[in-house]
Amino acid sequence: MRDALFPMSPAERRLARHAWAQVDVDGRRQAVERARQGLPADQAPVAAAAFDYGRYLLHVNVSNRLPRWLQPAVGALVAVVGLLLLSGLLAVPGRVGGGLVFTLGGLVVVAAGLLGWAQRRTAHLLVAANAPSRTASEQADRGR
């Protein structure tokens, strides 16, 4: 499944981050919990901030264009190479201690990739649940 990406200017991204930061921690947590249930945030300003922050997390950039599975997969591959270096099954002349660095680095990349994947999933929920409602004229046009 491809992500829906949103074009945002640097000023719009800055405003979205600022608006979300102005919501207290409990309000943000509540907005995410309600979004998981498919419900918008209780208060209109929080819903607007949640929608904009979700769009910010899904704005058009290089990392959002990559498949979600890519970073964890690359991290796992690096960790496996590190384990092979540690076990001695793979030897690189002149390199001592590289196996530990590769293994730990690969595990960090896997963890970061999985956290990013979860963040993008939450962003989709925030956008879907807190999308601005249609105006009465749009609903009337739709009914024609």
* pLDDT tens for each residue of 73-107: 999 999 999 999 888 888 777 666 678 899 999 99
Q: Which amino acid is at 72?
A: P
Domain ranges for the chain, please list them. 10-131
Backbone dihedral region of 74: left (phi > 0), alpha (psi from -120 to 50 degrees) or beta? alpha
* pLDDT tens for each residue of 24-34: 999 999 999 99
Name the pTM for this structure: 0.74
Count of beta carbons in the 10 Å neighbourhood of residue 76: 15
Nearest one of 58, 57, 34, 60 to 130, comparing CA atoms: 34
- The packing angle between helices 98-129 and 25-36, to 10°, is 80
pLDDT of residue 42 exceeding 60: yes
